[in-house]
Chains A and B, each alone.
Chain A
Amino acid sequence: MSDVSPTGLTAIDEVEGGGHTLVFSSRVAMAANTTLQLSLLFAFLYLRANNFGGMWHPSGIGTPPQVLALISLAFPVIGVLALWAVWNAVSGSRESSAVNGLLWLALLAAVLTGAVRILLMYQFNWELDSAGTYADISTLWYAVLLGEFIGVGLWLLSLVMGHVRGTDRLSPAHARAILEQWTYITGVSIAVYLLVQYAT
């Protein structure tokens, strides 16, 4: 391949999900996700600031249990570290035998993330019809994040399966893209945790 198109792809590099396209699209998806998160943030702050009918956070409505909430953040963070190590290993030229182990670790962290966050949401214990809008928006936000963790978790599962079964070795682009996605959602989750716990 002698020449390169202005897009960085060679003339015949038209494979679907080519590395550059993949990482780039994943970032566009993050931008779109940002609108969703900002919409929820707007709702949170708007409802909080106005306290319509004194029903933002009526007395007797608690906050999510602190310890479980922290654990629900610990696993995503472990996931970030594991995926970061995966990406490091895959993008280095030497084929690291540790990739499989790291991938399993990341997957385990993802499963535990989902499990703990479901458990956490069960512990909210809010009667949503009368608990005020603090409870409403917190529940919705945690639900949205749970959905996103599950989505990226399934993506991770497909990468792990392809890699360990040898049908589709993990490419640096894939490792990069999923690391970014997981980190992004983890970051948002930390911010949401702080808001829900302390901006009551």
Chain B
Amino acid sequence: MSTRPTLARRLNEWGLLLGVIGAVIGFIIGFAIGTIAIGNSFNTDHSLGSDPGILLGYALSALGFLAGLGFLNYPIGRLLGAKRPSEEDNAYMHGEAGGLRRYFRMTTDHKVIGLQYLVMILAFLFIGGLGAMFIRTELLTPSPTIANAQSYLTLVGLHSTLMIFMASAAIIGPFGNYFVPIMIGTRNMAFPRLEALTFWLLPPAGLILLSTVFLGGFTTGWTGYAPLADQNVLGMDAYLMGFALIGLSIGLSGLNMIATILTKRAPGMPLSRMPIFVWSVLVTSFLGALASPALIAAVLMEMFSRTYQTTFFVPAGGGSPYLWENLFWFFGHPEVYIFVIPAFGLIMEMLPVFTRKPLWGYRVGVGGMVGVGVLSFVVWQHHLFVSGLAPSLRPFYMFSTEMISVPTGIIYLVSLGTLWRARTRFSTPMLFIFAFFFNFLIGGFTGVFLSDVPSDFSLHASYFVQAHFHYTIMGAEVFALMGAIVYYLPKMTGRTMDIKLLRYQFWAVFLTFNGTFLSLIAVGILGMPRRVISYAAYLQPLNDSASIFALALGLSMALFLGILIWEVVIKQRVAAANPWESLGVEWQVPTPVPTFNFDRVPVSWSLPYDYDTGKPAADFGPVAPALTGA
């Protein structure tokens, strides 16, 4: 072995530290170049720097972070025509040596990346949750108390944008990365370094966004509408750079998943035999790969406007705020299905395990997800019903939006068919599955009112909208996430949580969640606008109800995290090998899953849902049947 890889490896062990140093150096260089060479922008807030300085500083700090982690080693080596990494190097990068430290560096093992995602996302969700607690505390009274109008808007913007960032990857990140390769029987993703990159873009995106508090914040909420975005102080740049990095991460992760799922499946696994969760990841990945470029285009325009003073969104300069709105929502609506389709996939993956029945209507369920995915590209204008969509276009978007209820309904039907006459085991994950269906029903139902143009005119920009998307995102996606954590932790960590204790936690979180957002639906119907710090006095009782439920909800979510940390990290309660008696391939491999998953790539026999016969889904024998020559 030569000395060079050893040095690279030693550096790699300290990747996180080097990354932080790289980020600081990158920021200083970028800030200096941006400020001196490009100069101040039209933005009047010069006391803290200029937009070019901040944006370039952020960009180079993200790059420096990645460089410190070692992401540039491979591409630079290729540019110099160096040899491809040896098998041994690849095994090292894959974290073959094991141990805790590989979780703190760049690795190419999809299982390590899955767990990195899980921890990172829970950490950021916790921070975002704290933001929500501040918001609800402020809204206990009709007039400002702990915040002022400006800082309140920043608080709302931070909470919402951070949550949107994390929700984009909350299920695909941990569970997609961890389980898709195992479920389709491959040792690796198509592009393992790219996979690592999609994860390591997350911390800079989140931290850059949070750094907005040092730059005066931003007042646009998560949707970044112009012309407010043009007028905002430097804090807006944090939003833009954060969203750009997240957009990149979503797009690249989509690309990687599509390539992996469509070209690396095990022998014997046609698309029609793919576990339903893999299908959901595939559909979502298409949404991510095809929608995020529209976001990137919009963000680039806004970055140009804040630096080169272009006038894309300024009517007096030939632009229009609707340009932003269209591009943003062309991404934004598929984005909301990026949140929820993987949740559907997980739910349908878990249902047969607890009903002990084959998944009813597998093909129909796949069709439902594909239908939702395709339709989600043609409904974005429903976010613009009120803000200036040509009236003649409204009926089409109203129709297409309401059409989405059809494939969504189909997915419900599949689930009901699976539950029909089942001897369901009401284990804790199953409770979360039920809650998912309950909450999403309300979420979808409120959506229908919003897609109806006349009723949207009175509901738009009210708390009704806010309650709608919290029912869908938190009530559906986050509940699915919690259920999946309970369900999959035994596989991912070999440890388990106390599922009896979690039952109490479940009821707490379910009841407080509904208490909070039912109150907010009512507040919305009474006409209270979103994103304002003061409200009419007669709305106080309902707001107080929402706030008190919300604080209790926060506590019950914290309880979940507390149980998780206590039992998995501290007490390390050992899990049974296959506690739910699942037939899924992922449960047939040993725990912890070997570094490269399989000695031999398994041969798929059937869908993993044959609970009536108990037939396994794949062959893991030492020699591949009919593949002995391989």
Contact = CB atoms under 8 A, between A and B. Distances in A.
- Tell me whether A and B are bound partners: yes
A129 B42 contact: yes
B310 A140 contact: yes
Given A2-B628, A158-B75, A53 B263 contact: no
Given A7-B263, A11-B627, A161-B78, A39 B297 contact: yes
B253 to A, nearest CB: 12
A35 B311 contact: no
Contact of B318 (A16, A132, A160, A164): A132
Q: Chain A contact residues (Cβ within 8 angstroms of B): what range? A: 35 or more
Contacts of A56: 318
B188 interface: yes
Given A2-B629, A55-B318, A132-B318, A46 B81 contact: no
B315 A52 contact: yes
Nearest to A43: B323
Nearest to A147: B300
Contacts of B326: 42, 46
Contact of B290 (A4, A7, A31): A31
Contact of A52 (B186, B269, B318): B318
Contacts of B270: 6
A14 interface: yes
B308 interface: yes
A144 B300 contact: yes
Given A21-B264, A32-B289, A136-B310, A53 B78 contact: no
A125 interface: no
B255 A28 contact: yes
A7 B262 contact: yes
A108 to B, nearest CB: 17
Interface string B389-408: 00000000000000000000
Given A21-B264, A29-B255, A140 B309 contact: no
B320 interface: yes
Grouping DSSP codes into helix (H, G, I), strand (E, B) and loop, the A interface class, with mixed when no group exceeds half, is helix
Interface in B261-277: 262-270
A130 B190 CA distance: 47
Contacts of B292: 32
A143 to B, nearest CB: 8
B264 A3 contact: no
A11 B266 CA distance: 7
Contacts of B323: 43, 46-47
A128 interface: yes
B79 interface: yes
A133 B300 contact: no
A29 B310 CA distance: 28
Interface residues of B, number: 66
A2 B310 contact: no
B259 interface: yes
User: Residue among A130, A157, A158 with the most chain B CB within 10 A?
Assistant: A158
B308 A128 contact: yes
A88 interface: no
B75 A16 contact: no
A52 B290 CA distance: 29
Interface string A113-124: 000000000000
Interface in A1-41: 1-12, 14, 16-18, 20-21, 24-25, 28-29, 31-33, 35-36, 39-40
A53 B314 CA distance: 9
B252 to A, nearest CB: 9
B297 A36 contact: yes
A136 B268 contact: no
B23 to A, nearest CB: 22
A139 interface: yes
A31 B326 CA distance: 20
Per CB-CB distance, the 9 closest pairs between chain A and chain B, nearest first, are: A55-B318, A161-B81, A2-B629, A129-B309, A39-B297, A36-B293, A5-B267, A133-B318, A165-B81
Interface of A: 1-12, 14, 16-18, 20-21, 24-25, 28-29, 31-33, 35-36, 39-40, 42-43, 46-47, 50-56, 58, 128-130, 132-134, 136-137, 139-140, 144, 154, 157-158, 160-162, 164-165, 167-168
Interface of B: 42, 75, 78-84, 186-188, 190-192, 251, 254-256, 258-259, 262-270, 289-294, 296-298, 300-301, 304, 308-312, 315-320, 323, 326-327, 330, 600-601, 603, 624, 626-630
8 contacts: A3-B630, A11-B267, A16-B190, A20-B263, A24-B259, A25-B263, A46-B326, A133-B312
